[in-house]
Amino acid sequence: MTWNACSAKVARIVSVGVLSLLLAACGGGGGVATLAPSPSPTPQASAGQASPTPVPTASVSSPTPVASSGQASPTPASSAALIAEGEKLARSAGCLSCHTTNGRPLTGPTWKGLYGKTVELTNGQKVKADDNYIRQSILEPQSQVVKGYNPIMPSYQGRLSDDQIKAIIAYIKSLK
């Protein structure tokens, strides 16, 4: 195992441990935090690219207030916790290796100010960066490549749960 692979593995283990503690501490309303490794799919890596590393799956079950419409009504505290969880997941999944939060583009587009913005894709189509766009970009990144960027993002299909994707979206929304 190379030094980089070893240090990445240690960083992932530490991140998972910290995330577990945070989830357990934030579950205050009788919720239970669980952590389990996600199944390791065998993603196809293109020539010259390393295969993506599976991301641990964390889930929290806790009572969620429900509005009269039947939709979950997030409280300010739960929104803050969701954003914090999204930031931790973005770091542990490696998203912030390519996407910045300060407005400067890197290998991928910046996340600062992204949510709600209209982006132009390599095929000339213009789309609004909303929940659906971000979710699809995480699960099927090659389907919506932003103009000016290479199609190198790996898919997180099967590696991030729907709740984890929602947390990352909440984090991106918070980056105004």
pTM > 0.85: yes or no: no
d(CA 15, CA 99): 18
pLDDT of residue 83: 97
Name the token pair of 91: 């770091």
Please write the tens of the pLDDT for every residue from 44-92. 444 444 444 444 443 333 323 323 334 454 566 689 999 999 999 999 9
What 8-state DSSP symbol labels residue 66? B
Contact 166, 78 (CB under 8 A): no
Q: Could you identify the residue written with the tokens 């995480």?
A: 138
Task: Give residue limits of the domains in the chain.
Answer: 74-174
Question: Which CATH architecture fits 74-174?
Answer: Orthogonal Bundle (1.10)
Closest CA to 33 of 129, 163, 156, 171: 163
Instruction: Average the pLDDT over each of 15-24, 95-104, 118-127 and give the range with the smallest value.
Output: 15-24
Closest CA to 74 of 166, 176, 150: 166
Burial 9-21 (b: 16+ CB within 10 A, else e): eeebeebbeebee
Contacts of 129 (CB under 8 A, 6+ apart): 114, 115, 116, 117, 118, 119
Could you tell me the pLDDT band of residue 19, with boundaries at 50, 70 and 90?
A: very low
